[in-house]
């Protein structure tokens, strides 16, 4: 075999090796990106290790489609023996609390669900707790604030002072009521009050049904007051004082969940993880420092900041 022939064969073998490792590298990158996009809870599905799932509900509660889909997947996950819901929220929209309540009751049809209240679990945050089978609260948790409200600014006097007039043509007298551009009349106020009353009756009936109490017999409950965890326990609004340890113990001792299971966080898969907000956060961190990057990520990702304006009926407590 000539020297030239050997050289050609060596080059061909080298090309095959390079092609193999290039293909392997591309496959590895594709797998890595796929796992990232797949989400932590789906990777847990693949591992299929028996566990207690932990879902966190914090900040402003709205009707979060990604979170509802997460609870549906969790309900059907055979390797998840129970669900622990950590609630740290002053509330949010009443409809958002209602959707979470129903999703949790759907989970409870297949596996036990326990709530652990953090610093605050009030209004719609308390509705989330009502969706579970057992509520564990810290002694100093702020909870309660049973009620529904609607708020809006009224700037007609300011507009008069600066000489601005808002013209309006509408199909009926109650369309677009209440309006920030004029004082509310009796008819508009009554419509809003009727809607609030209907939502409040639903909220109270939920409390009475789930907690086995008569709301009118609990001082301050109908009036919408808040309670500490200890006060809530006395009034049967929660079941136990403690934290995650007590919540897991209840699952093991009262609902027969396997002892010493790991508690694994399940998080919604959010779209846009690789989108513009994340890229801008990374750029801010590079140019201005890590602190600026953290702030940019907070603004871009935090649901509370993103929902400072809430539409619909609101069940929220904030001092």
Contact assessment for residue 98 and residue 128, using Cβ atoms and an 8 Å cutoff: no
Closest CA to 82 of 256, 238, 269, 242: 256
Contact assessment for residue 122 and residue 149, using Cβ atoms and an 8 Å cutoff: no
Catalytic residue among 123, 137, 145, 315: 123
Strand-pair category, 134-137 with 226-228: unpaired
Catalytic residue among 175, 236, 254, 262: 175
- Whole-number Å distance between alpha carbons of 29 and 47: 20
The verdict on whether 236 is a catalytic residue reads no
Contact assessment for residue 210 and residue 115, using Cβ atoms and an 8 Å cutoff: no
Closest CA to 109 of 124, 87, 125, 131: 131
Cis bond before residue 178 (omega within 30° of 0): yes
Sign of dihedral through CA atoms 228, 231, 236, 242?
positive
CA angle 71, 75, 78 (to 5 degrees): 135
Name the phi and psi angles at 240, rounded to 5: -160, 145
The verdict on whether 175 is a catalytic residue reads yes
Active site residues: 123, 175
């Amino acid at each position: 075999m000539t020297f030239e022939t050997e050289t050609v064969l060596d080059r061909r073998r080298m090309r095959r090796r390079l092609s193999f490792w290039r293909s392997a590298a591309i496959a590895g990158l594709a797998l890595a990106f796929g796992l990232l996009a797949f989400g932590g809870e789906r990777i847990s599905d693949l591992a299929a290790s028996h566990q207690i799932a932990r879902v966190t509900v914090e900040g402003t509660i709205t009707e979060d489609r990604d979170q509802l889909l997460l609870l549906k997947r969790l309900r059907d996950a055979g390797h998840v023996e129970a669900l622990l819901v950590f609630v740290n929220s002053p509330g949010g929209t009443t409809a958002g609390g209602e959707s979470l309540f129903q999703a949790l009751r759907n989970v409870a049809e297949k596996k036990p669900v326990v709530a652990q209240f953090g610093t605050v679990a009030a209004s719609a945050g308390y509705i989330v707790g009502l969706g579970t089978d057992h509520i564990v609260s810290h002694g100093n948790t702020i909870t309660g604030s049973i009620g529904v409200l609607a708020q809006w600014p009224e700037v007609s006097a300011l507009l008069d002072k600066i000489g601005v007039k808002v013209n309006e043509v509408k199909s009926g007298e109650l369309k677009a009521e209440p309006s920030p551009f004029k004082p509310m009349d009796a008819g508009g106020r009554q419509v809003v009050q009727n809607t609030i009353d209907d939502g409040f009756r639903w909220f109270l009936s939920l409390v009475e049904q789930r907690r086995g109490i008569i709301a009118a017999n609990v001082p301050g409950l109908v009036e919408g007051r808040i309670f500490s965890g200890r006060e809530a326990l006395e009034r049967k609004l929660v079941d136990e004082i403690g934290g995650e340890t007590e919540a897991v113990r209840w699952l093991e001792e009262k609902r027969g969940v396997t002892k010493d299971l790991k508690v694994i966080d399940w998080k919604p898969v959010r779209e846009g993880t690789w989108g513009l907000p994340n890229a801008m956060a990374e750029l801010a961190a590079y140019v201005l420092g890590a602190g600026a990057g953290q702030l940019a990520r907070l603004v871009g990702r935090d649901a509370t900041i993103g929902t400072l304006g809430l539409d619909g009926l609101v069940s929220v407590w904030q001092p």
